[in-house]
């Protein structure tokens, strides 16, 4: 999920960077043990590389104010 943060909001990405504008939430489940699941947050730099490796486009942005 791609989310625009509200003014003043910040998140910390999986790379340790501070995110202030748009972040990407990923939910995952372990293939070997479906009971192991979690989530992580990426900023634009990491997610651009991630989607490049997947050869796909990032999702549409969700704006919580719309």
- Using alpha carbons, select from 59, 66, 61 the residue that is nearest to residue 21: 61
What is the reported pLDDT for 18?
A: 94
Instruction: Note the Cα 32 to chain centre separation in Å.
Output: 23
pLDDT of residue 48: 86
- Contact between 3 and 59 under an 8 Å Cβ cutoff? The reply is no
How much is the pLDDT for 31? 92
Residues of the chain short of pLDDT 50, as ranges, are: none
Query: What pLDDT is stored for residue 12 in this prediction?
Result: 93
This prediction's pTM: 0.72
pLDDT reported for residue 39: 93
pLDDT of residue 41: 93
Cα 49 to chain centroid distance, Å, stands at 12
């Amino acid at each position: 999920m791609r989310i625009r943060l509200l003014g003043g909001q910040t998140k910390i990405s999986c790379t340790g960077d501070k995110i202030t504008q748009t972040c990407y939430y990923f939910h995952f489940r372990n293939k070997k043990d479906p009971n192991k699941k979690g989530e992580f947050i990426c900023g634009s730099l990491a997610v651009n590389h991630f989607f490049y490796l997947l050869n796909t486009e990032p999702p549409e942005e969700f704006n919580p104010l719309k």
